[in-house]
Chain A
Amino acid sequence: MRMPREALKKKNLPKKKATASSHDSLWDSYNQSEYMSGTKVGLDEKLVRFISQEKQEPEWMLQKRLASLKLYQEMPLPTWGPDLSRLDLGKITYYARATDKQSQTWDDVPADIKETFDKLGIPQAEQEVLAGVGAQYESTVIYHSLKEQFRSQGVVFEDLDVALQTHEELVKKHFMRAVPPTLHKFAALHGAVWSGGTFLYIPKGVKVDLPLQAYFRMNAKGMGQFEHTLIIVEEEAQAHYIEGCSAPRYGVDSLHAGCVEVYVAKKARFRYSSVESWSKDAYNLNTKRALVQEGAHMEWVGGNFGSNVTMLYPCSVLLGEGASADHLGVAFANHGQIQDTGAKVIHLAPKTTSNIVMKSISKDGGRAVYRGLVEISAAAEDAVSNIKCDALILDPRSASDTIPMIKINNPTAVLAHEATAGKLNDDDIFYLRSRGLSESEASAMIVNGFINPIVKELPLEYAVEMNRMVELEMENSVG
């Protein structure tokens, strides 16, 4: 997740003059999208066949898409969580190709698209701190690169469409196994129309010490994006992958129903970080799941700032003895937003451990929801789980819900859950104001302190930017 440096500098102007829309302007600049004239609104079998044909996919993938489509058409919308009845699935554009080719240098990327990613700071970040970068624009990946030092160690970092051609057997073995299309309606939809995304393969014993990043951008009006991230971390390997997402606001619903599958083999370690800042008219209905084997460790670090409605609950399935998972997340629900986020951990093996820390902030009528599940199966002897979620509610119009489901089927489990909700402490604000900070700056500083346990787990550059995003969201929060 990158912020344009120009925009950051702009934000250093006196804050009293800033408006709530100044933040949105960062994401809301968009390119003309002539390529949309040939696209189709709505979803049917013909479109699914067209996507598969255009990508020259093997027959098994087409069959998988068609089976998913059938499931999607049969399955109802979720009956729990935020109201999705306003989302008109018939008015979404499910597939749009903005450019015909994928580039390996930014110079080859079409100028208008490159400009968007320049504004988001992606090429600069690539040079400075990243091992590799992928960039997706609408339904297709337009840029992919990986530093030679990692390529030579056997790391594969590709667009999933490309990987389906070059590493078909690996893809076939893992694709939608952790997240089957039967899981829910939007997993089925994803299975039918997925396009682009990331394929990351870390060979046995390889440690990638710089983060790899993918950035997903929806540009056109009423668009749907369904990228698929498939990550395979072999035994004793280590890596860190970061995803960022954004889209401009049009006043028309757009839909993001991506999918992330992570396979963490024996004694491997993997960290997946994401900062999602979709436009505030987007529905972000994303599904993320990791299968974690013996002695392996999975970390999810997430920040949810954008979108109208978010439903996102990264899941770790602890399959092997001694497997562990950490889930760290921040959700910021501003005016008109529902951030329904959380975590799900299923302990299926002995001596598995999980740690969930979630923070939410609600402001200007936003609603933040923590929805979680920790399940300890009968086989999960001596499992340990610790859950902590805290909510800050900044004004009387905002709201917070906490819905933690805990299922215990083994008497040796040790589980502790703790949650609190409250407002900013008046004494803290008074003290900071006495030190010369405005009320808005004082509030932002306290909120940044509140989310610090999560932010500190991000690389420094990203941590700084997440702090800035909180400050931007907090502008005009008082008075």
Chain B
Amino acid sequence: MKEIIITNRQKKIIIPDGTEAFIIDKSPVKSSTAKKAEKNIQIIIGRNCQIKYIFLASINALPASQNRELIIGDKSQVVSYRAYFNSSDNDSKFVNRLGKGADFESRVLFYFSGKEAFVASDDYIFTKPGTRGRFSVIGLLNAEAIAKYYSNIIIDPLAQQTDSRIDMKLYLMSRTAKGVMLPGLKIDANEVKAGHGASTFQLSPEDIFYLQSRGLTEKQARELIINSLTARFTEGLPAKFKKEIAAEIKKKNRTK
């Protein structure tokens, strides 16, 4: 599959019908001049496309407001991978619109520590019939990090026979981290399947005891858990992206 790399200057990207590609969208890296980036991009994907969209805000990325509108054409299959590791003052708003018969899977991973703060909002808007969506969010918060994540499925009256679900999972790794989750449903059609789930995750003392009895330290045990959570996120990505994300997580594990 070919790679389409989004540059910092682009405002609108149109993907022709029938395209098979990776779209790479990386947040700008810190520089001495810029304070906070604001990036608004519209991505229009044509019909019958097969796309893997990869968004990465690395640990060195500039604090940013990341706003995207993703318009998915009829019968296209799109998998979106979004990972956020960058430092404080981040916000993100993604609006995703699904065409008739489109199949959209969205995976989000965020990992913050120190005094980092993150606010994100995703809207998954179903306007046409016969669409399918699976959306997941995994959040890791350490030290005094704070995250607020709003994720909404919106089904318009004409979007009958849609099938959608959001799952949100939050892992607080310290006593001072705080998280807010809001998985919302707004449904104006009746012949639909829609659901959402949200849960917290914790490493119980029993789990840690077991892993320690197998020779791991508590820190290693926690890293093992983080690796297993992120492995679910990166499943299906080419090896080079998996490595890039694993490296980011490793760096993040070292931050306080």
A-side residues, CB < 8 A to B, are 378, 391, 393-396, 398-423
- Interfacial residues, chain B to chain A (CB-CB below 8 A): 157, 160, 170, 172-200, 202
**Does A396 contact B194, Cβ atoms closer than 8 Å?**
no
Query: Would A422 and B193 count as touching, CB distance under 8 A?
Result: yes
The 6 closest A-B pairs by CB, nearest first: A411-B172, A417-B198, A402-B185, A393-B190, A420-B195, A421-B194
Residues of B within 8 A of A414 (CB): 200, 202
Q: Mind listing 15 A-B residue pairs with CB under 8 Å?
A: A394-B190, A395-B190, A402-B185, A404-B184, A406-B181, A407-B178, A407-B180, A408-B172, A408-B180, A410-B172, A411-B174, A413-B200, A414-B200, A421-B187, A422-B192
* Least Cβ–Cβ distance between B146 and chain A, in angstroms: 10
Q: B173 contacts which chain A residues (CB < 8 A)? A: 411
CB distance from A313 to the nearest CB of B (A): 15
Residues A408 and B170 in contact in the complex (CB < 8 Å), given A415-B199, A419-B196, A421-B195: yes
Q: CA separation between A396 and B188, bound complex, in Å? A: 7
Tell me if A406 and B180 are in contact (CB < 8 A).
Answer: yes
Q: How far is the CA of A417 from the CA of B182 in the complex (A)?
A: 10
Which of B160, B170, B181, B187 has most chain A Cβ within 10 Å?
B187
Assuming the A-B contacts A421-B185, A421-B187, are A402 and B202 also in contact, with contact meaning beta carbons closer than 8 angstroms in the complex?
A: no
Given A410-B172, A411-B177, A421-B192, the answer on whether A404 and B183 have CB atoms closer than 8 Å is yes
Q: Which residue of B lies closest to A408 (CB)?
A: B179
CA distance A307 to B180 in the complex (A): 32
**Additional A-B contact list (8), CB under 8 Å, known A391-B187, A401-B184, A416-B198:** A396-B157, A401-B186, A410-B175, A417-B197, A417-B198, A421-B193, A422-B193, A423-B192
Q: Is the CB of A406 within 8 A of B182?
A: yes
- B160 partner residues in chain A, CB cutoff 8 A: 396
Contacts of A404 in B (CB 8 A): 182-184, 196, 198
In contact, B180 and A405 (Cβ under 8 angstroms):
yes
- Whether A418 and B189, one on each chain, are in contact in the complex, defined by CB atoms closer than 8 angstroms, is no
Least CB distance, A469 to chain B, in whole angstroms: 22
Residues of A within 8 A of B182 (CB): 403-406
Q: What residues of A have a CB within 8 angstroms of the CB of B191 in the complex?
A: 396, 423
Q: In the bound complex, how far is the Cα of B17 from the Cα of A55, in angstroms?
A: 76
DSSP class of B's interface residues: helix, strand, loop or mixed? strand
A209 to B216 CA separation, bound complex (whole angstroms): 55
Bound-state CA distance A416–B181 (Å) is 12
Asked if A420 contacts B194 (CB within 8 A), the reply is yes
Q: Do A413 and B202 touch (CB < 8 A)?
A: yes
Which chain B residue shows the least CB distance to A395?
B190
B180 CB contacts on chain A under 8 angstroms: 405-408
Decide if A399 touches B183 in the complex (CB within 8 Å): no
- How close is B152's CB to chain A, nearest CB, in angstroms? 9
Contacts of B172 in A (CB 8 A): 408, 410-411, 413
Give Cα distance in the complex from A393 to B185, angstroms: 13
A residues near B178, Cβ cutoff 8 Å: 407-409
A416 to B199, CA, bound (A): 4
Given contacts A405-B182, A413-B202, A417-B196, contact A399 B187 (CB under 8 A): yes
- Assess whether A400 is in contact with B187, with CB atoms less than 8 Å apart: yes
CB neighbours (8 Å) of A402 from chain B are 184-186, 196
- Is the pair B177, A399 in contact by a Cβ cutoff of 8 Å? no
**Residues of B with C-beta under 8 A to A405:** 180-182
B170 engages A401 (CB within 8 Å): no
Q: Point out the residues of chain A lying under 8 angstroms from B177, CB to CB.
A: 411
Instruction: Among B175, B185, B195, point to the contact of A411 (Cβ < 8 A).
Output: B175
Known: A408-B200, A411-B177, A417-B198. A398 touches B184 (CB 8 A): no
Q: Are B183 and A417 in contact (CB under 8 A)?
A: yes
A418 lies within 8 A of B184 (CB): no
CA distance A278 to B181 in the complex (A): 34
The residue of chain A having its C-beta at the shortest distance from the C-beta of B180 within the complex is: A407
Q: A400-B185, A411-B172 given as contacts; is B190 within 8 A of A418 (CB)? A: no
Whole-angstrom distance between the Cβ of B165 and the nearest chain A Cβ: 9
User: In the assembled complex, which residues on chain A have CB atoms less than 8 Å from the CB atom of B197?
Assistant: 416-419
Minimum CB–CB distance for B154 against chain A, Å: 9
Query: Residues of A contacting B198 with CB < 8 Å?
Result: 404, 406, 415-417
CB within 8 A of B185: which of A401, A410, A413? A401
B218 to chain A, nearest CB (A): 14
Q: How far is the CA of A413 from the CA of B200 in the complex (A)?
A: 7
B185: nearest chain-A partner, CB-CB = A402
Once bound together, how far apart are the Cα atoms of A412 and B190, in whole Å?
38
B164's nearest neighbour on chain A, judged by CB, is A421
Complex Cα gap A7–B178 (Å): 54
In the bound assembly, the distance between CA atoms of A401 and B189 in angstroms comes to 11
**Smallest Cβ-Cβ distance to A388: which chain B residue:** B197
For residue A406, which residues in chain B have a CB less than 8 angstroms away from its CB?
Answer: 180-182, 198
